[in-house]
């Protein structure tokens, strides 16, 4: 019995850890979706999320955490394609601005002002034109 507990306990611990790891990520997504709807968080042409004005610590943490996860994915792709992380992020930024910003959400190109997406497509930076949008 003690042996069984010895085996099960670490497994249960692992399961709890996995659940803990997954739950905050989902909670973060919900926080970000809400902030996007509220117009305080938006996509940027550099491939990362940005914050407009001041937000709660929860929102800031969620944005920081997601951007770190994005950078890890960009870094992985960059190393596989022999490109810079910045270029991979910017090309992904073209895609997110083109297809993942809904009407009414905010977005930002370069160091420009935050803008609210209207009914039409976003006017992308010139270099994005090659992506066929």
Partner 1 sequence: MRLWTRSGQGMLALPLVMLAGGCIQVRAPEKPIEINLNVKIQQEVVVRLQQDAKDLIDNNPELFPQ
Structure-block tokens of residue 78? 């960059």
Query: Could you give the string, one character per residue 16-35, with x where binding to partner 1 holds by CB under 8 A and - elsewhere?
Result: ---------x---x--xx--
Considering only 10, 79, 100, 112, the residue that binds partner 1 (CB under 8 A) is: 100
- CB pairs under 8 A, 24+ apart, for 70-79? 74/47
Find, among 34, 18, 27, 25, the residue nearest to 70 by Cα. 25
Least Cβ distance, residue 4 to partner 1 (angstroms): 36
From 3-11, 53-61, 86-94, 109-117, span contacting partner 1 (CB under 8 A) = 86-94
Query: What secondary structure letter does DSSP report for 51?
Result: E
Least Cβ distance, residue 57 to partner 1 (angstroms): 19
């Amino acid at each position: 019995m003690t042996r069984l507990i010895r085996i099960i306990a670490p497994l249960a611990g692992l399961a709890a850890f996995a659940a803990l790891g997954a739950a905050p990520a989902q909670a973060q997504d919900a926080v970000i979706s809400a902030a996007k709807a509220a117009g305080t968080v938006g996509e940027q042409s550099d491939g990362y999320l940005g914050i407009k004005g001041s937000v709660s610590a929860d929102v800031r943490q969620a944005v920081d955490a997601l951007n770190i996860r994005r950078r890890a994915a960009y870094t992985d792709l960059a190393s596989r394609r022999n490109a810079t992380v910045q270029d991979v992020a910017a090309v992904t930024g073209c895609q997110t601005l083109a297809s993942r910003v809904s009407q009414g959400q905010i977005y930002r190109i370069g160091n420009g002002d935050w803008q609210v997406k209207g009914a039409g497509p976003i006017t992308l930076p010139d270099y994005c034109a090659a992506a066929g949008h």
